[in-house]
Structure 1
Amino acid sequence: MIPAGRTGLGTAEVAKRMNRKTLPPEVRQTLPTPISRKKARTAIWDAEQIDAHLAGQEIPDLSFGGPSPDELITADQARRELQGAVSLADFENYVREGSIPGPDEVIDGVPHWKRSTVLAADDLLDRDEARLELRNPITLASWGFYINQGRVPEPDVTVAGVPHWKRLTIRTWDVNRPGAGAGGGRPKGVKETKPRNTAPNPKREARRERLQALLAKGEATSQAISEFADSEGISERTVWRMISDLRGTEA
């Protein structure tokens, strides 16, 4: 994985920085630990760490620098941390669908994320790391078939010949791709044989009222949301969607 905001270097690029044609094993052993996964066929190093090593300086850690990664930021601040132009509506949609995790904390009814939580969405994943991000992981062979068939988004970047995808790219594709049985339902142009039941659902309305009470008390912490989801027998993603709907109604 190439952490968000870092620059990866392949073997040829590192060798060039060292004025060498190759990187034999004895030379590799003197270099900082690669940022690519341990069993990756192609080693990738962090550019800043390599430059520090060659300059005889202390090897910097892989933190992105700047403000604290644990600083809590609002949705509007969070969407500005992501690479590329991400609107507030897009960010909120990413959260609703689960491409970006729910808030780390809710302060006075306002969701807040740790900066590190948001930046993780821009981490670059290699082929196998991307596969493991899927909600229902598949075999490496099947994943390779998906890629070769063009059923997976194009890589966001290629480093040292290795395709990498942003974590957000994979998660967004995963939550929106058709699942088993997709494409069912009433064919276009065919009228319904009976009207839909639009009567209020008492159970759903009661759940909505309980959630409203939780929000009104200002107790909608991540732990409280998790406990609410468990007690109601629903997912946290559903709870956050309900919260978004409630706030939209109140606006």
Structure 2
Amino acid sequence: MIRAGRTAVGRRELADALGMTWPTFRRLKPHDAPEFPAPVSSEGAHTLLWDLEQVEAYRSGKPQPFLPEAEDDGDLLDRREAALVLNVKPRSIDSYKTDPGLADHVVVVAGVEHWPRNVVRAFGAARGTMSAPNGRPTGSGDMVPRDLLPGRIAGLLDADPAVTAAHAVDVLGIATATAQKHLQRERAARIAARMRTDAIGAEEAADRLGYPPALRRIAVKAAQQLHESH
């Protein structure tokens, strides 16, 4: 974990910070010395990272500054640490990270992808509370409280207008019929609202909202009915 406000470096940057050439660094392996600062990368990480302030203090023979212990929204988490926050397996992050909710906020440090803690929490909140290793929320089936479900569905559409019912089932743990109903209802409401604000037809409103034809047929009809009723 890279604590908020701190800078982390990989092996090549570490060599620069220590004033060594890369061949010399690889030969001497100064980071293996017992007194060298411990890596800040997650346990089991393939790429090790070190806190730059601690490394510079070590190089200068000064006491190493302590890392903050309290969690901060600005902490940068790698895939293993993000998985712990969402309570899923790290491989789940490999599929989640293409979602705009994570992809738009990725920070790459020495080739390792990280996400701010608050971004990871917001991503999880938009999809229901993660609890099981397979990535499904607490209480599969239709255990998401009914009053919270519209907000969860809205969050999925905000992140991806082309979200499918299958994806909603996977991340929210709801029944397929429930996912389809709520997605159609939310899409219809948004299409109708766009029709009113832009003075356009339902199909054009659906296009502007980014809803694929295959996913909007029923929603368009419902939106037309909503528009006519106002």
Q: Tell me the TM-score normalized by structure 2.
A: 0.52
**C-alpha separation in 2, matches of 1:41 and 1:152:** 25
Distance 1:33 1:145, change over 3 A: same
1:153 corresponds to: 102
Task: State the SS of the aligned residue for 1:184.
Answer: helix
Is the CA contact 2:96–2:102 (under 8 Å) kept in the aligned structure 1?
no
1:167 corresponds to: 117
**C-alpha separation in 2, matches of 1:176 and 1:142:** 16
After TM superposition, give the deviation of residue 38 of structure 1 in Å.
Answer: 2.6
Question: What value does the CA root-mean-square deviation take over the aligned residues?
Answer: 2.6
After TM superposition, give the deviation of residue 151 of structure 1 in Å.
Answer: 6.1
1:15 corresponds to: 15
1:57 corresponds to: 62
Task: State the SS of the aligned residue for 1:2.
Answer: coil
After TM superposition, give the deviation of residue 146 of structure 1 in Å.
Answer: 2.8
**C-alpha separation in 2, matches of 1:48 and 1:144:** 30
After TM superposition, give the deviation of residue 59 of structure 1 in Å.
Answer: 1.0
Matches within 5 A, 1:58-77: 58-63=63-68
Moved over 4 A (4+): none
Task: State the SS of the aligned residue for 2:85.
Answer: coil
Query: What 5-or-longer segments of structure 1 have no aligned partner?
Result: 64-68, 70-115, 193-251
Distance 1:60 1:142, change over 3 A: closer
Task: State the SS of the aligned residue for 1:165.
Answer: strand
After TM superposition, give the deviation of residue 183 of structure 1 in Å.
Answer: 4.6
**How many percent of aligned residue pairs carry the same amino acid?**
32
2:181 corresponds to: 184
2:48 maps to amino acid: A
Is the CA contact 2:42–2:80 (under 8 Å) kept in the aligned structure 1?
no
Q: Tell me the TM-score normalized by structure 1.
A: 0.48
Distance 1:150 1:176, change over 3 A: closer
**C-alpha separation in 1, matches of 2:76 and 2:49:** 12
User: How many residues end up aligned between the 2 structures?
Assistant: 136
Q: 1:133 aligns with which of 85, 91, 105?
A: 85
* Structure of greater relative contact order (alpha carbons < 8 Å, 6+ residues apart): 1
Give 1 or 2: higher helix fraction: 2
